[in-house]
């Protein structure tokens, strides 16, 4: 394939008569057509363009919790490689200091980066994740960071903690994958009165390949439900993503900061 392309470049660099109808030019044109046909045939054999749609659909298939478990079983997923704390965790750490928070639970810790940041910031940190491999990774990262974080496998729909166990709860891009009628009351239950929470969820998910939109949570209903549960809304906003991510998904994001009354 590369040899054919090299031959074509040699022809293009040759001295070609000005008259396009000259016998030499006509001979060169036929040679170029033959080389080009062979080049693109070899290129198609090297990469099956006819199968491109199927390959693309596989790459952009939406991730599920089971997919996350499968990805962790292969090694460290790309989204778990970055150990820098999220900007949301940094901002929440500032809010926790304002509220004189001592203990914080992270729901869905992933590689543990945000829980590690909380521990380094002086808070007594605990975290859970539903994926055992993620918990193993988070524990290893906490050990490397030389911080003490209580990390365990658990579901937010049934938290293994007593009522009012924590001053704060932090959860980033997790609860939309749960039954909110179970997970939100559990978050509320384990926070002490006067404690705070940060919750980041997808209000809906749109797919680039045309699959039906998932989640479809109404922001007004969501906020009203949090109030009825016993939360005071400290801050809230919606972020509508404009671009599809590497999984072919685009999200409507709900972000809230809360105080338990």
Reported confidence tier of residue 205, pLDDT bands at 50, 70, 90: confident
Instruction: Give the residues across from 191 on adjacent strands.
Output: 166
Given the DSSP bridges, would you call strands 191-207 and 249-260 parallel, antiparallel or unpaired? Answer: antiparallel
Is the pLDDT assigned to residue 51 strictly greater than 70?
no
- SS3 string, 58-85, reads HHCCCCCHHHHHHHHHHCCCHHHCCCCC
Q: Which pLDDT does position 58 carry in this prediction?
A: 32
- Is residue 54 scored above 50 in pLDDT? no
- Identify which has the larger pLDDT, 49 or 191: 191
Helix (H, G, I), strand (E, B) or coil at 54: helix
Mean residue pLDDT across the chain: 82
Distance of CA 173 to the CA centre of its chain: 8
- What pLDDT score does 49 carry? 42
For residue 65, pLDDT over 80 is answered with: no
For residues 28 and 166, the model is more confident at 166
pLDDT at 161 over 70: yes
Average pLDDT over residues 116-144: 96
What backbone torsions phi and psi does residue 196 show, to the nearest 5 degrees? Answer: -130, 165
- What class has domain 65-260? alpha beta
pLDDT band at 44 (very low <50, low <70, confident <90, very high): low
The pLDDT value given to residue 61: 35
> Which has more pLDDT, 69 or 24?
24
- Percent of the chain exceeding pLDDT 90 equals 61
| Whole-structure pTM value | 0.71
pLDDT at 214: 76
pLDDT at residue 188 is higher than 90? yes
In the prediction, which pLDDT does 246 show?
Answer: 81
User: Nearest-5° angle of CA 229, CA 66, CA 127?
Assistant: 50
Give the residue extent of every domain in the chain.
Answer: 2-47, 65-260
- pLDDT given at position 153: 97
Look-up of token digits 């166990």: 165
Q: How confident is the model at residue 52 (pLDDT cuts 50, 70, 90)?
A: very low
What's the pLDDT score for residue 62? 38
Residue 111 pLDDT exceeds 50: yes
Give, for 42, the enclosing helix (H) or strand (E): helix 23-46
pLDDT score for 197: 98
Q: Which of 127, 137, 116, 150 is nearest to 69 (CA)?
A: 137
User: Which residues partner with 234 through β-bridges?
Assistant: none
Kindly state the average pLDDT of the residues 70-80. Answer: 57
Highest averaged pLDDT of the listed ranges 20-24, 46-50, 104-108: 104-108
């Amino acid at each position: 394939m590369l040899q054919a392309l090299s031959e074509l470049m040699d022809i293009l660099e040759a001295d070609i008569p000005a008259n396009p109808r000259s016998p030499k030019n006509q001979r060169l044109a036929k040679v170029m057509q033959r080389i080009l046909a062979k080049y693109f045939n070899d290129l198609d054999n090297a990469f099956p363009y006819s199968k491109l749609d199927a390959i693309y659909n596989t790459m952009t298939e939406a991730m599920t919790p089971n997919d996350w478990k499968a990805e962790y079983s292969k090694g460290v997923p790309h989204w778990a490689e970055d150990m820098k704390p999220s900007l949301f965790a940094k901002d929440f750490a500032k809010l926790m200091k304002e509220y004189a928070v001592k203990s914080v639970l992270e729901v869905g810790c992933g590689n543990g980066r945000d829980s590690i940041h909380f521990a380094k910031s002086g808070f007594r940190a605990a975290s859970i994740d539903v994926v055992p491999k993620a918990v193993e990774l988070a524990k290893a990262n906490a050990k490397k960071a030389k911080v003490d974080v209580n990390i365990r496998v658990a579901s937010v729909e049934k938290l293994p903690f007593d009522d009012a166990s924590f001053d704060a709860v932090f959860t980033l891009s997790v609860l939309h994958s749960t039954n909110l009628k179970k997970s939100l009351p559990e978050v509320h239950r384990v926070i002490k009165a006067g404690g705070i929470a940060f919750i980041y969820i997808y209000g809906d998910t749109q797919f680039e390949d045309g699959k039906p939109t998932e989640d479809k949570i109404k922001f007004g209903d969501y906020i009203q439900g949090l109030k009825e549960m016993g939360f005071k809304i400290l801050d809230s906003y919606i972020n509508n993503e404009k671009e599809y991510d590497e999984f072919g998904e685009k999200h409507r994001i709900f972000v809230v900061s809360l105080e338990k009354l």
